[in-house]
A and B are shown apart, each in its own frame.
Chain A
Amino acid sequence: MTYKPKEITEEVNISKIHPLTNLAQLLGTVVGVSLAIYIALGLAVDAIVPRIPIETEKAIGDSSIASAYLLLGGTPIENDPRISYLQELLNSLQDPEDKIPLTLHFLKSPIVNAAAIPGGHVLVTTAFLDEVKSENELAFVLAHELGHLRNRDGLRGLGRGLVLNLGWSLVFGTSGGGDSSVVGTVINLSSLNYSRSQESAADLSGLNAVIRRYGHGGHSLDLFKRLQDEETDLKVTEYFYSHPFSENRVKKLEKNADKNGWSMQGEKTALPQVFSQ
């Protein structure tokens, strides 16, 4: 038998599918399944969050307070006459039904913002207090944050953030996308952004608390109105970075006040002496 060279032209060892089609199919499957899991876990989070005991909420909040300082770019101030005033104001705004003890954290930071962390932690920055002109508007912002605490929006956000973080590390590996702690921070930052419906729920709860304390909602929305006008000011818009801004937020509140028969007119309560120093 003589050897007759014969060229093999068919490529049986290579699948005919185009790499990009293959990627699209894979991504479709993975993204679809992850989305389904994400939604399912989100629903699970919504179901579980109202049942979390206060002690657990405190444990979660206490462990994330350090990263909250980082997010607001500040260091806590211990000795400031304003702290006791803020703490008292905060306590007076709490719904009598809420049992969780509140802790106020006063941060020295150039970022204009206030935030609520699970476990009854409310954070306020010095730059934010500089923007405040009356007690009413300060009370509304604090009560708004208390509304988030009440609805446990922070815990919901943490739950989803955790799921997101897990998904990221599954796809890219713990060291895949660079420093995993950075990824974690980015994700936590985005999960601090509450949804629009969560914001309006907190708004309503906040206004309710203000009415309970002052008997009227007058001047409580002044800060918002001012921030709205000064939107070009970068420092001020930082507040809206974590509190999605919608134009009809003020209008919606006034409509709700009208419906509930809350008076939106009333005397302005001045800030105490320590602020003018």
Chain B
Amino acid sequence: MEDLIFILSPFFVIGFGYLIGAYFEKQHYESIRKRERQTLHLPVVNYGCKQPLPEAREARLVVGEVVISPDAFKTFVLALRNLVGGRVTVYETLLDRARRESLLRLKEEAIAWGATQVLNVRYETATIGNSSQQGVASLEVIVYGTAIR
């Protein structure tokens, strides 16, 4: 019986990870969609080097950062996916959430400052806490740009 519990324990963790992870993901997406509508009025624009920049009184750096971690379910699916190869679809939402959340944070910061536009936005990604054995690394997304008003 104890052996059985020992063998099954990873599956409990995975099931728990799925339920909790799916709940948080749903909540997060609701929040993302709502805030995206709220921040829609702020233009985020890229300018090439030969284009004239818009006139501004003030400019400042705005940064949005997110660190997001996969749940046990996603990690398990990734481990399985590592065996056969292919698209890790469960991680797509993770990356999508991190990317959108970081831009939202940037825009919210810019709006709070009173920006009329955010120029030349760039993304950076990194993994945090990457232990070489396990796929429990967290994903970090940094987005930065120049806010003007």
Contact = CB atoms under 8 A, between A and B. Distances in A.
Chain A interface residue bracket vs B: 20 to 34
Nearest to A170: B83
B51 interface: no
B133 A171 contact: no
B3 A186 contact: yes
B84 A177 contact: no
Given A19-B90, A22-B90, A30-B84, A13 B96 contact: yes
B133 A15 contact: no
B89 A17 contact: yes
B41 interface: yes
A174 interface: yes
A7 B80 CA distance: 36
Contacts of A186: 3, 6-7
B127 interface: no
Contacts of B41: 5
Contacts of B87: 15
A192 B21 CA distance: 40
A37 to B, nearest CB: 11
Contacts of B73: 19, 23
7 closest Cβ pairs, A-B complex: A15-B89, A5-B40, A3-B43, A26-B80, A13-B96, A186-B3, A14-B92
Interface of B: 3, 6-7, 9-10, 18, 22, 36-37, 40-41, 43, 45, 73-74, 76-77, 79-81, 83-84, 87, 89-90, 92-93, 95-96, 99, 133-134
